[in-house]
Structure 1
Amino acid sequence: MWQCTDCKREFKKTNQDHFCGEPPKTIDAYIAAQTEEVQPLLNQVRDTLRATLPNAEERIAWSMPTYWRKQNIVHFAAFKKHMGLYPGDKAVAHFSDRLTEYKTSKGAIQFPYNKPLPLLLIAEIAKWSYDTGKHD
Structure 2
Amino acid sequence: MNPKPSSIEEYFSWFSPEIQSKLQEIRSILKKTLPDAKEVISYHMPAFKTSEVLVYYAAMKNHLGFYPTNSGVSEFKEELKGFVTSKGAIQIPYDIPLPEKLIRDIAIFRQAEAEDRKAKKSKK
Same fold (TM over 0.5): yes
Q: What residue identity is the alignment partner of 1:65? A: P
Instruction: Structure 1: give runs of 5+ residues left out of the alignment.
Output: 1-17
Match of 1:72 among 41, 48, 53: 53
> What is the CA distance between 1:33 and its match in structure 2?
1.2
Is 1:32 matched with 2:16?
A: no
CA distance in 1, matches of 2:11, 2:108: 23
> What is the CA distance between 1:35 and its match in structure 2?
1.3
Q: What residue identity is the alignment partner of 1:32? A: S
Q: CA offsets per residue over residues 7-49 of structure 1, 9 Å max, x none?
A: xxxxxxxxxxx53xx3111111111111111001100000000
Residue matched to 1:107: 88
Secondary structure of 2:74's counterpart equals helix
Residue matched to 1:46: 27
Q: What residue identity is the alignment partner of 1:63? A: H
Secondary structure of 2:78's counterpart equals helix
Q: CA offsets per residue over residues 68-104 of structure 1, 9 Å max, x none?
A: 1111100000001000000011110110000011000
> What is the CA distance between 1:115 and its match in structure 2?
1.1
> What is the CA distance between 1:119 and its match in structure 2?
1.4
Q: Deviation above 2 Å: which 4+ runs of structure 1?
A: none
Counting aligned pairs with the same residue, the percent is 37
Residue matched to 1:23: 4
Aligned length: 116
Instruction: Structure 2: give runs of 5+ residues left out of the alignment.
Output: 118-124
Is 1:63 matched with 2:44?
A: yes
TM-score by length of 1: 0.81
Secondary structure of 1:37's counterpart equals helix
Residue matched to 1:10: none
Is 1:126 matched with 2:97?
A: no
> What is the CA distance between 1:123 and its match in structure 2?
1.0
CA RMSD after TM alignment? 1.5
Residue matched to 1:8: none
CA distance in 1, matches of 2:37, 2:6: 17
Larger RCO of the pair (alpha carbons < 8 Å, separation 6+):
2
